[in-house]
Every structure is written in C-alpha cells, then in structure tokens.
Chain A
Amino acid sequence: AQSVTQLGSHVSVSEGALVLLRCNYSSSVPPYLFWYVQYPNQGLQLLLKYTSAATLVKGINGFEAEFKKSETSFHLTKPSAHMSDAAEYFCAVSEAGGGNKLTFGTGTQLKVEL
C-alpha cells in the first residue's frame, strides 16, 4: 500500500522568499515520486519526478525536490517565489515498476504575496 501526506493545506510566502512544500510518503516498495501543479480550473502539470536516479531532482519553473529515504520525504522547494507560482501543488507516489497507479496527496495551496 502507498500513501502521501502533505503537511499544510495552505502555505503563504512573500514574493522573492523561499518556497517549501512538504511531502512525506509511505510505500512498501521503492517509490516513484512526483510533484504536479494545478492552476484554477485546469488539469495537472508535471513539475518534476524522482525515479531512483539522482536524489536531488530539478524541475520546471525553478522548482526542485530532494528524495530522502531516511525521512521518507520528498519536499518541494524554490529559492525565490514568483507571483505566477500561486497554485495548488500535489505530491504523488507510485510503486516502482511499470503499470502502477498514482496516489495523490491532499494538495497544498500556495499563495504568493507582494
């Protein structure tokens, strides 16, 4: 069984400040991990993914995430927030191996203030 916990349903940062969105996972086998972003009334766009290669993963729009097995975490960070980063962010996990489905966290709404 696999699950994802996103701490903090709402995160607010100032423009230019560090963004940190937390994700912890549970998986009985090595996981694949994903971060997706969703803008209002739109589908999900992949930001980045961890697939058991490098533990520090860089994605689009300046985001990156680090896989920490000992902490079962995959937190998403961005050094400097931009107004356009305001959106809903979802962490997802899938068991390694093909053909497996994604399990999503409950999402974190990021607000960026001037």
Chain B
Amino acid sequence: GAVVSQHPSWVICKSGTSVKIECRSLDFQATTMFWYRQFPKQSLMLMATSNEGSKATYEQGVEKDKFLINHASLTLSTLTVTSAHPEDSSFYICSARNSRDSPHNEQFFGPGTRLTVL
C-alpha cells in the first residue's frame, strides 16, 4: 500500500516552454501533497505544500507564478513549470500523505521526474 506514481519519469523540453508533471496516489487518498526539488548530490528542498481543494503554500523563495501547483482531487496533484529555463533543470519529487492515516507526518514518495531544459 501507499504507492505514489509520477509522470513522466523524465522530460526534455526547449527553453520557454511549459512542462506539467503529474503526481498520483494509487491506493490511498492524499489529503496533502508535497513537491520537492533535488539538485545533483544534494538534499530535497521543499517547494510547496498543497492540500486538496486549496491553494498551495509555497516555501520562501519559490516563485508561485513559475511553479503552478494544482491539487484538484484526493489522488492527483500537478506541478507545471511555466516558461522553463535551463536553470529549472532538476529532479522533481512529489510525496503524499493522508493526514488522518499518517498521524506521525509520514510521507510516501513518488519515483521522481528528471526535467532537462535545453
């Protein structure tokens, strides 16, 4: 149980285009989803937290107009990188939890999406 998927697993795009990444909880209802960014050989940096049906809460320094997050259902959240540039190239990881079933704040992670902007 507690499986989270991401799609696509990797994407290459041209500078200036927008890219959408999907995060799905396959066997549980995710009341909260998180989006992280990970640079090579570094730790995970939380970008934003989204609760189903609410606007995402962004961490300091993360541009909300650049990284659009939608959490329209209990099993799906999307991250759209708008007008992507080479510096947006990174490994993006989502995680999810059901706050009722995860009283200790445990998060279940997706496999990640490798974004390369040319």
Listed in ascending order, the chain A residues whose CB lies under 8 Å from chain B are 32, 34, 36, 41-46, 49, 51, 90, 94-96, 98-102, 104-107, 109
B103 within 8 Å of A (CB atoms): yes
Contacting A at CB under 8 A, from B101-118, are 102-112, 114
A32 and B104 in contact, given A42-B111, A43-B109 (Cβ under 8 angstroms): yes
Kindly state the separation between the CA atoms of A89 and B107 in the bound complex, as whole angstroms.
16
Chain B residues with Cβ below 8 Å from A94 are 104-105
CB proximity of B41 to chain A, nearest CB, Å: 8
Q: Which of A41, A42, A99, A104 contacts B105 (CB 8 A)?
A: A99
Kindly state the separation between the CA atoms of A100 and B46 in the bound complex, as whole angstroms.
13
A44 and B43 in contact, given A98-B103, A98-B105, A102-B107 (Cβ under 8 angstroms): no
Q: Number of B residues whose C-beta is below 8 Å from A?
A: 26
Q: Which of B43, B49, B109 contacts A106 (CB 8 A)?
A: B43
A49 and B112 in contact, given A104-B44, A106-B42 (Cβ under 8 angstroms): no
Does the CB pair A101–B46 fall under 8 Å?
Answer: yes
A105 and B99 in contact, given A42-B111, A46-B106, A94-B104 (Cβ under 8 angstroms): no
Q: Which of A32, A41, A45, A98 contacts B109 (CB 8 A)?
A: A45
Contacting A at CB under 8 A, from B84-104, are 91, 93, 95, 99, 102-104
Query: 11 A-B Cβ contacts within 8 A?
Result: A32-B104, A32-B105, A41-B91, A43-B110, A49-B106, A90-B43, A98-B105, A99-B105, A100-B105, A106-B43, A107-B42
